[in-house]
Each structure stands twice: as structure tokens, then as C-alpha cells.
Amino acid sequence: MLKSNLWYIAIIALCMLTACQPLGSKPTERWQHSIEGAYAANISNDAKLSVVSSIHHGISLWDLEKNALIYNWSQQQDSADNLVLAADISDNNSHVLTASRKNFALWNTSTGQSEGYWQVRNSNIRDIAISNNGNHALIGKSNGTVVHVTIDTGRRLEFLGHQEKINAVDMLPNGRVAISGSNDFVAYVWDTQTGQVIYRFNHPSRVTMVALDPKGRYAFTADSKKAANIWDLKTGKLVNSLKYFNRQEVFSSIQFSDDGKLLLTGAPSRKVSIWDIASGERKTSWRVTPREDIRPAGAVVYSAAFRDNNHIITESSSGYAELWQIDKL
């Protein structure tokens, strides 16, 4: 009886581990976008473009529908300080913003030309965001400040609400509202014209990830321990918290589905997950492909996006873009 009970418990435990994690599932398609891995990558919200930073190719802009290289750009990746470690594509795909620790550059996706190159002083760049048409750039820094730059006029607004280094920033497509998260356990949503705080979201540990739904419906904030929250951007009220069994879950990318019902997350642990916003439950997940020459095998999911109702696409530190089939949720 004891043996059969133990067998039954083992089966139940195995089912719990695998029900939401089809780790054996393989991508429908895989494309190599960089040799020997990538330093940063970002997929456009419509999953049509991706930008990848790597040591051999510099900055590459890809057409994900054709898997075709569009442009190769250079941002002086000639030393550790100049490696592009952050990238963002505007919601309307018009521009790409890239940044190393000390400088950032704006690129036009139609012409392939650079529209500006800037250096920062006194502190390092931690995260970036770009608005539609490249009108505004958002720069989160290690000294705790977040700088909102209006490209045409050069206007700079410094948000000084945080007490410690910035870990993540995001901005609505029109550039009017920003979100920032810091080691001071706080995420702020704030007005980029006035610098006034709209909402303050407190966490029990350092805030490691923030994101805004491009349609202005939600904000996402997550910390280094257990809390990952979805907020109503119109009211500031909590919509739901993501529910998971492990002691902590760290996120490296966030995207809201177009219909506002699902959340797509990537993690430094290779994991990509789809969550139900209404319940906070994980619906399904995958593991991206690691680099074969790295032991132990690992990969950071830099970016993930919904291609359509049946597929997602990912870019990771392994240098692969991968297309995944969504089974019925």
C-alpha cells in the first residue's frame, strides 16, 4: 500500500511539474541571428522586426517574417564599455534605440540611418525605451535618475523619485507616461511632461522588471523575490498577481497580448510563459534553446512577442530566434 501511494504521489508531482512546462516541446522554426550568442535583443510588438546586438555582427535589424537581414549598424562595439547591452523598437516600428553603458543611439528603420548619438556622464545606462517616430527616449541610470529626452528639441527632464539604481524602464508609445523600477523597492508611473508621480507601487524587494501595455490598459511590476503584479493603468488598482509555486521567478521580458487577456514573459532561466491576466495563472511555457558550447546549458530570454493567436517568437542570448506553436489554452 505504501509503495503504491508513493508511486501515486510521484505521478502527481511529475504531472504538476510538467503540466504547465512542456519542456520537451521544440520550436516550430529556429534561425541563428548571431554567432557565439547575443548581448541584447528586442522584438517589435507586432513580431515583425527584431534587433540583435552581438560581437561579430554589431547591431543587426531583422525582418522576422522573411528571416532576412535588413541592416547592420555599428555603435563602436570595440570594448567592454561600448558593447550594446540594451535595445528597444518603437511601437510603430519606425525607430530603434540602442545603448551601451555610456552612450545611446537612435536609428531610423526606413532609411537605416542614425538620427543621433549621445553620451551620458557620471553613471551607467541600465535600461532604455523609445517612443513612436523616435520623438522621445527614456534612459534609466545607475545613479537612480531616469532621463526623458525629447529628440527634436533636446529637452531633458530628470525624474528624481528613486533613491537607488534603476533596473528597468518603459514608456507609452506617445512618450507621455513612463514607468521605472529601482533597487529602492519602488516602481513609479509618472508624467514625462511634468515629472509628477501618477502611481507608486511598493514591493518587498528590489524591483527588477517593469512594463507598460502599449494600449494603456496595464502596468506590470516585479521584484527579485515573489511579487509580480499587473495593475490597472487607469485606476492604479491591482488587477492580479502572477501565481507560481517556486520560491522566486525573475523576468527578463514582458509583453501584453493585443486583446489584453494574456501576458507573455521571458526569464533568465530560458523559460517563456503565457499567463492569464484574469486569473494570474500560468497557461503554458517553453524553454528556449541554449548554446551548445556553454556548460551548464543556459540562455536569457531577451524578448518574446505574440506573432498571432497561434504562435509566439523569441530572441535569446543563445543567438537564436525561435518560433513556438501555442497549443489550445
Per-residue confidence (pLDDT) for residue 75, from 0 to 100: 64
Task: Judge whether residue 96 has pLDDT over 60.
Answer: yes
Domains annotated for the chain, with CATH where assigned, are: 30-72+248-329 (2.40.128)
Report CA-CA distances (Å) from 56 to 4, 53, 84, 303, 313: 56, 9, 12, 20, 23
Mean pLDDT of the residues in the chain: 90
The predicted structure's pLDDT at residue 79:
55
pLDDT exceeds cutoff 60 at 243? yes
Q: Is the pLDDT of residue 190 over 60?
A: yes
Q: What is the pLDDT of residue 295?
A: 64
pLDDT category, 248, cuts 50, 70, 90? Answer: confident
State mean pLDDT over 171-198: 98
Say how many C-beta atoms besides its own lie within 10 A of residue 55's C-beta: 14
Q: What is the pLDDT of residue 77?
A: 54
**Backbone angles phi and psi of 48, in degrees to 5:** -95, -25
Is-above-0.85 flag for pTM? yes
Place of cell 515573489: 226
DSSP symbol at 290: P
